[in-house]
Amino acid sequence: MNANKPLAGVKVVELGTLIAGPFCSRILAEFGAEVVKVEAPDGGDPLRKWRKLYEGTSLWWYVQSRNKKSVTANLKHPEGKEFIRRLIAEADILVENFRPGVLEKLGLSWEELSADNPGLVMVRLSGFGQTGPYKDQPGFGAVGESMGGLRYVTGFADRPPVRTGISIGDSIAALWGAIGALMALRHREVGGGKGQVVDVALYEAVFAMMESLVPEFDVFGFVRERSGNIMPGITPSNTHTTRDGKHVTIGANGDAIFKRFMQAIGRRDLADDPALADNAGRDARRDEIYGVIDAWCAAHAEEDVLAALEKAEVPASRVYSVADMFADPQFLARQMIETARLPDGREFRIPGVVPKLSATPGSTEWLGAALGAHTDEVLAGLGYDDERIARMRADGAV
């Protein structure tokens, strides 16, 4: 691992599967943390078999587990559990996303682990958190998105709520987990060396992103509803269809921007209308304005629409597919499409690392490893000799 990365020297153990926990530790791994991912010997993380497979392994897996070491351990076997306790005893951070109570039943509770390692930071990601009446219920990202308010406001008013197209609830929770871990490490550094628990509930992670939902309801009794592609109360901001059937998002809700926009499309009457000089006036005539923009976009090809808006300095973009991203100079200039190699040597593309740090950037050091590829190495690093490792493997402990 690159010693110049900001998290070099930080040791992380991941007891997670699928999305929230693994994405959290992936962020840490991209920026230099030594992440050891613990998997069950009989198949490992189910993500290895999710979505599109190449020669039996998920392409998603290679990205989600980049820069991580993979070890296997049977947590129901005494020696397997001892291995992981010894591993955690030397770690700075433990990331887990089991249902609350699972680790406790395995003898890996916070109380037991922190007794071995008082500086441990334990990131716990679950559907509903470690406390409260719902804590024992299963809760995937879809549930968190629904309970946290995101799905209620996503879609069109005349249709049922929809998902965003990715597992956004899990990923948001992972980001909060990584932020919480770094906060806890900072506190440990300046506050006496003690670790703590970072308790992230998926529904709360989503709820935290819901803008002004709470105060608007409390003060005005206002319930935000689904509004399709427009931004209620902020006009114009919408997605429009061009003559060639493409979709362009236009955000012209700034006062000066709106004026330039209307001038660019030949509607100087609207550009100079004093009633439309501010957002409140525009929003009162929202349907009229969107009708004008819809008609103009429908009369022009996507390329011409974007060229005219760029010239007028109006924020706009085509709605990108992944194919658009592969050819886009901005994505390429900022190295957001990286080239890597699959185990058989075939080149393929993976997403770049975010955020961009000027002095100590993150990077891809290696892709998701084969199941248990680092088990012997990690065991040896903990002082296990070859004979004991072979016996543990024969006994099904690893």
Residue 3: which pLDDT band, with cuts at 50, 70 and 90?
confident
- pLDDT value of residue 232: 86
Q: Domain span at residue 302?
A: 237-318
Would you call 385 a catalytic residue per the annotation?
no
**Could you tell me if residue 225 is inside a domain?**
no
Q: Are strands 247-251 and 237-241 parallel, antiparallel or unpaired?
A: antiparallel
Whether 218 shows a pLDDT value over 80: the answer reads yes
DSSP annotation string for 271-336: HT-GGGSSHHHHHHTHHHHHHHHHHHHHTS-HHHHHHHHHHTT--EEE---HHHHHH-HHHHHTT-
Tens-digit pLDDT profile for residues 227-239: 999 988 899 999 9
3-class secondary-structure state, position 226: coil
| Final residue before a domain boundary, out of 289, 318, 347 | 318
DSSP annotation string for 184-207: HHHHHHHTTS---EEEEEHHHHHH
Based on the fold, state whether residues 39 and 112 are members of the same structural domain: yes
Whether 1 shows a pLDDT value over 70: the answer reads no
| Final residue before a domain boundary, out of 258, 290, 318 | 318
Task: Give the whole-angstrom CA distance, residue 328 versus residue 335.
Answer: 11
Based on the fold, state whether residues 303 and 347 are members of the same structural domain: no
How many structural domains comprise the chain? 2
Based on the fold, state whether residues 100 and 244 are members of the same structural domain: no
Tens-digit pLDDT profile for residues 290-302: 999 999 999 999 9
Based on the fold, state whether residues 129 and 203 are members of the same structural domain: yes
Tens-digit pLDDT profile for residues 63-117: 999 999 999 999 999 999 999 999 999 999 999 999 999 999 999 999 999 999 9
What is the CA 343 to chain-centroid distance, rounded?
26
Question: What pTM was computed for the model?
Answer: 0.94
Of 45, 170, 218, 273, the catalytic one is 170
Task: Give the whole-angstrom CA distance, residue 187 versus residue 196.
Answer: 9
Tens-digit pLDDT profile for residues 5-61: 999 999 999 998 999 999 999 999 999 999 999 999 999 999 999 999 999 999 999
CA-closest candidate to residue 254, choices 319, 317, 315 = 315
Based on the fold, state whether residues 204 and 351 are members of the same structural domain: yes
Based on the fold, state whether residues 314 and 342 are members of the same structural domain: no
Task: Give the whole-angstrom CA distance, residue 305 versus residue 309.
Answer: 6
CA-closest candidate to residue 379, choices 368, 392, 395, 396 = 392
**Could you tell me if residue 83 is inside a domain?**
yes
